[in-house]
A and B are shown apart, each in its own frame.
Chain A
Amino acid sequence: MINYIVRRLLAGVVLLFVISLITFFIFFVIPRLGGQTPESLASSFVGKTQDPKAIEGVMHRFGFDQSIWVQYGRYIKGVFFGYDFSNGAEQVHCFAPCLGFSYKNDILVSHSISEWLPVTLSIALGASVVWLLFGVTVGVISALRRGTWVDRAGMLTALMGVSLPVYFIGPLLMIVFANNWHLLPDSGYVPLTTDPYQWFMHLVLPWAATAFGLAALYARLTRVGMLDTLNEDFIRTARAKGLPERTVIFKHALRAALTPIVTIFGMDLGFALGGVVLTEYVFNLPGIGREAVDAVNQSDLPVVMGVTIVAAAFIVLANLVVDLLYGVVDPRVRLS
């Protein structure tokens, strides 16, 4: 087991390295192939004055005047060992894992991510609980009440959920619950450590908007999985042995039906932790996704790199956890 985890972690590191290389290539090399020069890149970070001295200063301070490979080498060195950079007045050390500093804000990327991450974690983890709980529950009930109005109502709601994107359902929830009924705040984020009640209240709508579509998907998957499992021989055997129906459903049928749910949950959670972009935009939440999109628009490349690597790390980690959970959920699976 330990060997397996170590092997997977090492593979994850290699994967992150490859991802960093691809990201770097896309955002640093391709623009140059398209004719962008270090000067023109630097000039987009200089105010209206476009003072040649300022452009030269930016080129030097951000390293645009160095070769692409030197820039990439410095970046990777920073990730593993940290590096020193100048704020003009003094040398500042950026400790490993150093993801560089934002060209736009003159702030360490790792510091920025540490501020955005709690927001994204709050949305993703909270929403994941909601979509898993509601999705699996509705799916199980629909499977057990197959063909009844309960099943049809559940699946109709699920169809609606899959069809309504966050950018539609989000503003709709805001209009009804925030602007009209004034039950919840319409946007913004309050840190959990500042005021847990306000943290919760500010996240209810983002959780609902994020979870609605995914819960619908999980409900449909759970229903199909349960229906398949309920027709398996071992369920018939369990019932023939006289086990209570509750035990048959929850201990045998649901457990087997959960395997694909766990797989997709790992992927979805990993993606969500990398930034629930639409939710963050709709509800004005300063999370990783929103900031990553802004960074792309502003050519703030170190932020793009940093967020991509962090998001990729979440997906790698989530997949590892999922693989480990297989062994727990399904006894037939053994990790080696």
Chain B
Amino acid sequence: MNRHSKLLGGVALAASVALAASACSSSKSKSSPSTKPTGNVTTLPSGANSSAEGFNAAVNGFVRPTDKQGGTMTLVNRSDWDSPDTGNQYDAFAWAFDGNYARSMMAYAQKPGVEGTKVVPDLAQAAGVVSDGGLTWTYKIKTGVKYSDGTVVKAADVKYAIERSNWGQDVLQNGPNYFTNFVKDDTKYQGPYKDTNPADGVSGIQTPDDSTIVFHLKQPFADFDYLMAIPGSAPVPRSADKGADYFKSYLATGQYKIDSYKPGVEMDLSPNPSFDPSTDPDKLHVLRASKIVVKVKQDKSTIDDQLFNGSADGDLTGVGVQAAGQAKVMGDPKLKADADSAYANSESYFAINGTMKPFDNLDCRQAVEWITDKNTMQTQLGGPIAGGDIATTAQPPTVPGWVKEDQYATTDHKGDATKAKASLAKCQSAEPDQFNADGTLKTTYEITIRDNADREEKIAETLQNNLKSIGIQTTIDAKPFNKYNADFAGNRQYSQAHKVAISFSKWGWDFPTGYGYMYGIFAGSAIHESGNYVLSWMDDKAVDQGFETALAETDKTKRDADYAAIDHQIMSDALIVPIVYNKELVYRPETLTNVVFSQALGMYYFSAMGVK
């Protein structure tokens, strides 16, 4: 069994053992005052009825599980919402928090481990019923679900919500628009803001009655249930929509409603009086706090202190504690017992620009693969606890169906100069004009990184030294984080003008499938002239063909194997140099209840959480 399989196996085994042990010996759980259940626990979604405790407890189980309502939960966040409107947002923390005030059709299971990557019905009565050879998906919505103003949710509201967030991007520009890729539309619908006729809409979405919604697809898409877990499927009544201003008067369907939201300052939520727990048999929306206060744009240097001194109950940022805080947590057994080191469902990597000579030659790209010292980079990124495990594949190991593989294995992942030089020599034979007589490259290339993390600069320097050792000269240029893809690494004009051969990137999935992780960063059709995330810039036909095959496959096991094959192809083509599967050291103050780390969301399941 390889290292990562062992790790996953270990996590699963630990979860099973923890659950079994805690079920068998509840007295042990109750012996610790900080970890005993804080209320009457009946049937939590996970089926867990006892408390997990200690380091990594929330990765493997529920910490202080309860259905009891506590006091005010204060969360802090480094950044602010792109928009609290579920149809106009893409922030990871927002998707992990939305369940508090919105009910999407499907939702991620509130379970630890790989079970948490599965989707379960939320507003929908059940998962989609597939017919017509995978081209038709039918959902029934639960009856009796109401908005915070007391009006009843109808299937037409779900249709409208999906239309506005996917076809209305002329106004709601922040969120994803997957539905436009897959749902049939014979009318060339322009979205509700350009086409204001209420009778118009996407022809491939039909609502034959108030509780049924039917999607007709252009091509089979077996991951469709995952699209319904994107917050954009949370209902919005057409009559209440105010376009870009809707977030100011958002109609909640979750257990809380938004009382006030001041951009850059704070969001306050209180219990939604129209929420009916009987419409939530799976207990995805339990009131576990009497009020939620989210303070945004908090200074990152003070967030950890706020968690340690009790002035905040949780960090919504979801990126873990700072370097100083990491040492403090790992050095103090009491603090460590309230922390988790978990996969962030993302990966850090260097993309190699496959359109930049001579890196359009596979051997030149493979020379970069062989020479990279990932061992040093792992340490520079924070080590195995707070940085992550060394990566060798295009997808992180938390994607279901992931297969461990290392096509460029070197001793201790420290790189192999001999193999790198051999690859570079082969490249020189094919591209002699690009090389000096001594085998070094004539041109100095740019390594582009983001300017918001010192650690990225350190690993870029390591790569720079690695490349220099085989005759590839580079400069490092740190660019503004918020314009990185629009104006620099993801801008073709900039990349060509500045000879950007290698770009750092850190990517997390939109949903936990091979498509959800890989399509946006490897598919040829996802390349844009600016704002591009396919930083290899390569229109790799083999990869695109792989996606076509996978999307048509209805058997999940076979589909996962197809995604693993795409991963293999990406690494064979040396489009990226994977560095680490990111992990975060996250801290959960003792005041929090019902804490579980969602493998799907890559952070705590904030809508499941409460306080004492």
Give the interface of A toward B (CB within 8 A).
35-36, 39-40, 43-51, 53-58, 60-61, 86-90, 92, 102, 104-107, 112, 115-116, 174, 179, 186-188, 281-282, 284, 286, 290-291, 294, 297-299
- Residues on the B chain within 8 Å of A112, using CB: 263-264
Query: By the criterion CB–CB under 8 Å, are B297 and A286 in contact?
Result: yes
Instruction: Judge whether B480 and A297 touch: CB under 8 Å.
Output: yes
B305: chain A residues within 8 A (beta carbon) = 179, 186
The answer to whether A88 and B171 touch (CB under 8 A), given A40-B530, A105-B264, A186-B311, is yes
Q: How many residues does chain B have at the interface if contact means C-beta atoms less than 8 Å apart?
A: 53
Please give, as numbers and ranges, the residues of chain A lying within 8 Å of B530 by CB-CB distance: 39-40, 43, 50
Tell me which of B420-428, B483-491, B575-583 binds A.
B483-491
Q: A43-B531, A281-B299, A299-B482 are in contact. List 13 more A-B contacts (CB 8 A).
A: A40-B530, A47-B89, A48-B520, A49-B176, A54-B170, A55-B173, A87-B242, A88-B172, A88-B242, A89-B245, A112-B264, A187-B302, A284-B299
Say whether B174 contacts A46, CB under 8 Å: yes
Give CA–CA (A111, B139) in the complex, Å: 42
* B193 lies within 8 A of chain A by Cβ: yes
> In the bound complex, how far is the Cα of B532 from the Cα of A311, in angstroms?
37
A46 and B531 in contact (CB under 8 A), knowing A51-B177, A297-B480, A297-B482?
yes
A296 vs B500: C-alpha distance when bound (angstroms):
26
List B168-217 residues whose CB lies under 8 Å from chain A: 168-177, 180, 191-193
B262 within 8 A of A: yes
Give the docked Cα–Cα distance between A53 and B189 (Å).
12
Can you name 13 A-B residue pairings with CB atoms under 8 Å?
A: A35-B493, A43-B486, A51-B177, A53-B169, A54-B170, A54-B177, A86-B243, A88-B242, A89-B171, A102-B263, A105-B263, A106-B83, A187-B298
Residue B414 at the chain A interface, CB threshold 8 Å: no
Any A CB within 8 A of the CB of B111: no
Q: Name the contact of A87 in the complex, choosing from B82, B244, B298, B491 (C-beta under 8 A).
A: B244
A303 to chain B, nearest CB (A): 10
- Cβ-closest chain B residue relative to A116: B264
The answer to the question of B349 belonging to the interface, with a C-beta cut-off of 8 Å to chain A, is no
B233 to chain A, nearest CB (A): 16
**A27 → chain B closest CB, angstroms:** 14
The interface residues of chain B lying within 8 Å CB-to-CB of A47 are: 82, 89-90, 173-176
* Chain B residues with CB under 8 A of A179: 305, 309
Which residues does chain B contribute within 8 Å of A299, judged by CB atoms? 482-483
A164 to chain B, nearest CB (A): 18
A284–B264 contact, CB under 8 A? no
Contact B265–A286 (Cβ < 8 Å) = yes
- Report the minimal beta-carbon distance from A300 to chain B, rounded to whole angstroms: 10
Asked if residues A36 and B480 are in contact (CB atoms below 8 Å), the reply is no
Q: Assess whether B435 is interfacial by the CB under 8 Å rule.
A: no
Residues of B within 8 A of A106 (CB): 83, 244-245, 247
Report how far A187 CA is from B191 CA in the complex, Å: 44
Task: Determine the chain B residues whose CB is within 8 A of the CB of A102 once the complex forms.
Answer: 263
Closest to B529 in A: A39
* A43-B530, A54-B173, A61-B170 known; A88 vs B480 contact (CB < 8 Å): no
B243 touches which one: A60, A88, A105, A297 (CB < 8 A)? A88
Given A50-B531, A89-B242, A115-B265, A44 and B486 contact (CB-CB distance below 8 Å)? yes
Set of chain B residues within 8 Å of A40, measured between Cβ atoms = 486-487, 491, 530-531
Encode contact with A along B279-323: 1 for CB under 8 Å, 0 otherwise. Answer: 000000000000000010111001001100101000000000000
Contact A88 B311 (CB under 8 A): no
Enumerate chain A residues within 8 angstroms of B193, measured Cβ to Cβ. 88-89
- CB pair B245 A87 closer than 8 Å: yes
Which residues of chain A come closer than 8 Å to B520, judged between CB atoms? 48
The residue on A at minimum CB distance from B481 is A297
The listed residue (A49, A107, A187, A297) touching B263 by CB distance below 8 A is A107
Q: Is the CB of A48 within 8 A of B533?
A: yes
Contacting A at CB under 8 A, from B213-248, are: 241-247
Q: In whole angstroms, how far apart are the Cα atoms of A87 and B262 in the complex? A: 18
The answer to whether B299 touches A57 (Cβ under 8 A) is no
A60-B263 contact, Cβ under 8 Å, with A90-B243, A284-B297, A286-B297: no
Chain B nearest CB from A31 CB (Å) reads: 9
The reply to whether the CB of B528 lies closer than 8 angstroms to some CB of chain A is yes
Within 8 Å CB of B491, what residues of A? 40
On whether the beta carbons of A284 and B175 are closer than 8 Å, the reply is no
Cα–Cα, bound, A221→B11 (Å): 67
Verify A55–B531 contact, CB threshold 8 A: yes
Contact of B297 among A48, A61, A282, A294 (CB under 8 A): A294
Contact B486 A88 (CB under 8 A): no
User: Is B264 a contact of A286 with CB atoms below 8 Å?
Assistant: yes
Complex contacts, A54 vs chain B, CB 8 Å? 169-170, 173, 177
| Of A49, A88, A186, A294, the contact of B175 (CB 8 Å cutoff) | A49
Residues of chain A within 8 A (CB-CB) of B298 are 187, 284
A188/B168 contact (C-beta < 8 A), A291-B264, A298-B482 known: no
* Cα–Cα, bound, A116→B264 (Å): 10
Say yes or no: A44-B483 contact (C-beta < 8 A), given A89-B242, A89-B243.
yes
Report A-chain residues with C-beta under 8 Å of the C-beta of B264. 105, 112, 116, 286, 291, 294
